[in-house]
Amino acid sequence: MFDHHIICEEGFRNVSDAGSVTGFEFQARLPYYRGLGLSMVEDLSVSVDGVEVPREDIRFSVRDRSWTLDELETCYDDRWNFGERATIFVKRAGGLAAGRHQLKLSERLRISYLPFVPTTTFETELDLAA
């Protein structure tokens, strides 16, 4: 239902640490009409320009807290609220070149009343400023 709102157009940028570009980040939302505990985020997968990002190179952040995907599995004291933008950081030395990139995000979420774990995927093109 909210599939086309998963990846936000704003917030797509390279990230620097101590003068060196360490990766890139973008903002994302839940495709679900309620918030979820972070341990219910079963998995996030990202690909950029057709290349799948290794799971260990992805970090998830909300409200100034950050987790690896493995750490999310046991995070019982925080949640991702409906409409709230999370920041997805991808570790990639040198980041991405300026210009247009194909970005794909899949979110696998455990919904308490569903007998299966749905995966919602959205793909879009975004421009990365120089």
Domain boundaries, the chain: 3-128
Distance CA 87, CA 35 (A): 16
First vs last Cα of the chain: how many Å apart?
A: 34
Residue 3: the pLDDT is 58
pLDDT digits (tens, 9 = 90+) for 76-119: 999 999 889 999 999 999 999 999 999 999 998 888 777 777 78
Alpha-helix runs per DSSP H in 61-108: 69-72
Confidence category of residue 2, pLDDT binned at 50, 70, 90: low
pTM over 0.85: yes
With contact defined as beta carbons under 8 Å apart, do 27 and 15 qualify?
Answer: no
Q: Which fold has domain 3-128?
A: Immunoglobulin-like (2.60.40)
Confidence check: pLDDT of 27 > 90:
yes
Over residues 47-67, the mean pLDDT reads: 96
